[in-house]
Structure 1
Amino acid sequence: MAVTEPAVERVKKRIREGIVRGKYPSGSRLPSERQFALETGLSRMTVRAGFQAASDDGLIAPSPQRGWYVRDLVLREPPSRLQSFTEMAHELGFRPTSAILDHRERPATLDEAHRLHLAPTAPVTAIRRLRGMDGRPVTVEDLVIPVAVAPWLTGVDLTDTSLYELFSTHGIEFAYSRYTVQAQNATETLATLLNLPPAAAILVATEIAYTQDTTPLLSGTNHYRGDAYQFTADLTR
C-alpha cells in the first residue's frame, strides 16, 4: 500500500519543528512510532516513512537500542584550521542554511576602521545572517567587509552562499584569522533568533580574517548557541 507524500511530509515537518523549537534536543530520543501515530492520528506505516524521510534529511538517526534519536547538532571548530561555516557543516553531514537579516553598504565605525586598517568612515558592506544546519539555528553572523576589498558584494544573494567560496571565485583566498571566543548572555533579539530563553548563555566568537600578505578581508562576530558550538585548540609549552 502506497503512503501518501503529504502525510509523510507532515511527519517530517513535525519532527523538524520539534527540533528547532527545542522540544527534541540534540541527542534526545523521539517518541516511539506508535506514540507518534497516536498523537497525529496517522498510521504506523506513514509515521515510519516520515521518520525515514527525516533521517534522509539528516535530522534524526535510528538506533537498535533506542529507537529514533535526534542527531547531535554541535558545530565543532577543528584545531589550527581555518574553515567556513559551510565547510564545517558539510564535514558533519549537515546542510548549511542561511537567512539574510541585513545586507547593506555603510560607512565604517571608528572601531571597524581600526580593525580593518581603513580610513575613518571608509565604505564597508555589513551583513547579518542567521546560519543553521538542516534548518536548525546555530549562530547569528555579523560580518563587515571593506568595499575596496570586495566591491562586487553589493547586490549578491548570500542566502545559501559560502563567502569563502565566493571570495575564491574572485581570486581572493583566506589565509589566517585572529580569533577570540567568550561567553555572554543573549540579548532579547539574539535569543529570539536562536530560539533560546531570554538571557540564555551563548558563545561569541570574534575574528579578523586576513590574506597571506596580511590584508584584512573581514571583521566577523558569530553569536553561537551555547549547546551548538565547540572550539578546540592545541596548547603547547
Structure 2
Amino acid sequence: MENRDGRPLHERLSEEFRHRIATGAWPEGSQLPSEATLCGEFGTSRGTVRQALATLRNEGVVTGGRGRPPMVRAAVQSQSFSTFMSFTEWAHSIGKTPGQRTYEVARRPAGPVAAAQLGLEAGEPVVEIYRLRSLDGVPAMIERTTFVMEAGRLLFDFDADNGSIFNYLRSRGVDLSRARRTIDAVAAGPDDARLLEVDPNTPLLRERRLTSSADGRPIEYSEDCYLPSLTNFTIDNTSESRASLVRIPTP
C-alpha cells in the first residue's frame, strides 16, 4: 500500500479492512481471506496483517484468533479514541449515512456547567445547538452543544440539518484541533427517550466533550447521548505507546 499520510501500515490496513466490511465486500458471517492471501495482496508481513486484524477484533468487528479463522460478525459500530472525528466523518468512515434533525440553534446565557467548561462567566452569551443524529435513518444520538460566541455566531448562517457543523466551522477558519472526552452512562429522560424512540430510563452512553483550539482555547462543550445498541467507543494502545485514557471516579 502506498503511504501517502505517514500513518503506520497496520493502521491503514485496518481502515481498508473496515471499509471492505462496511461496504459488504466482506459480508457479515463470512471468513476473511487467509493471512498469506492478505500478505500477498498488500505486500506486507504476517505481523502487520495480524496487528491490523487484532485492532478489528478489539473493536468487535471481527471474531476468531487462537487457531480459529477470523470471521466478520454483526457488531455495534465502534468510534475510536485514537482519532478526532466529527459524527459525520465517523459515520462516513464506517459506510453509514449520517443524518440530523435540528430542534434548536439559539443564543442564550451560558449555564453554570458549560460556562465552567468553556472558561466563561456564568451568564455570558453562548450559542446552543440541540440535534437528533441518526445512522442510515435510525435515531442514534442526542446532541446538546454549546459554542463560545466567536464560533457559535457563524452557525446562524448554516443549515444544521444539512451537513457537519465541525466541517462548516473549519471552513470558516475556526480552529477545532483538540478534544477531551469523558464517557459515562445516564438514563434517558422523557424528551431524549421520545426522540430516540426508546422507553424512558433506557441506559444511554454519554460523551462529554470539550473541544479546543491548538493553543488550548476552549471552543465547544457538548453532551452527546448515544444508544449503546448502535455505537460504542474503543481505545487502542500498545505496550510501546500508551493512550492518554484516564479513569475518573464519579462523585
Q: TM-score range by the shorter chain?
A: 0.5 to 0.7
Q: Is the 8 A contact 1:113 1:119 kept in 2?
A: yes
Aligned-residue Cα RMSD (Å) equals 2.5
CA distance in 1, matches of 2:175, 2:184: 27
SS at match of 2:140: strand
SS at match of 1:132: strand
1-side partners of 2:115 and 2:172: how far apart? 23
The code of the aligned residue for 1:228 comes to L
Q: CA deviation at 1:199?
A: 1.3
Partners of 2:178 and 2:122 in 1: CA distance: 25
1:105-144 superposed matches below 5 A: 105-144=107-146
* 3-state secondary structure, aligned to 1:154: helix
The normalised TM-score by structure 1 is 0.67
Aligned partner (choices 156, 161, 164) of residue 162 of structure 1: 164
TM-score normalised per structure 2: 0.63
In the aligned structure 1, how far is the partner of 2:74 from the partner of 2:99? 17
| In 2, Cα distance between equivalents of 1:184 and 1:133 | 21
Segments of 5+ residues of structure 2 without an aligned counterpart are 1-22, 31-72, 244-251
Do 2:91 and 2:98's aligned partners in 1 also have CA atoms closer than 8 Å?
Answer: yes
- CA distance in 2 between counterparts of 1:147 and 1:224 reads 26
Equivalent position amino acid for 2:185 in 1: A
Q: Provide closer, same or farther for how the CA distance between residues 108 and 82 of structure 1 changes in structure 2, counting only shifts above 3 A.
A: same
Tell me how far apart the structure 2 counterparts of residues 191 and 136 of structure 1 sit (CA, whole Å): 14
Post-superposition offset of 1:138:
0.5
% identical aligned pairs: 27
Q: Aligned to 1:213, what secondary structure does the other structure show?
A: coil
Contact 1:125–1:154 (CA under 8 A) maintained in structure 2: no
Cross-structure match for 1:173: 175
1:91-106 equivalence runs, <5 A: 91-106=93-108
Q: How far apart in 2 are the matches of 1:118 and 1:130? A: 27
Aligned residues: 174
For 2:205, the equivalent position in structure 1 comes to 203
Tell me, what secondary structure is at the counterpart of 1:88?
helix
Cα pair 2:177 2:211 within 8 Å, conserved: yes
Separation in 2 of the partners of 1:175 and 1:159? 23
| d(CA) in 2 for partners of 1:211, 1:91 | 24
Alpha-carbon deviation of 1:73? 7.4
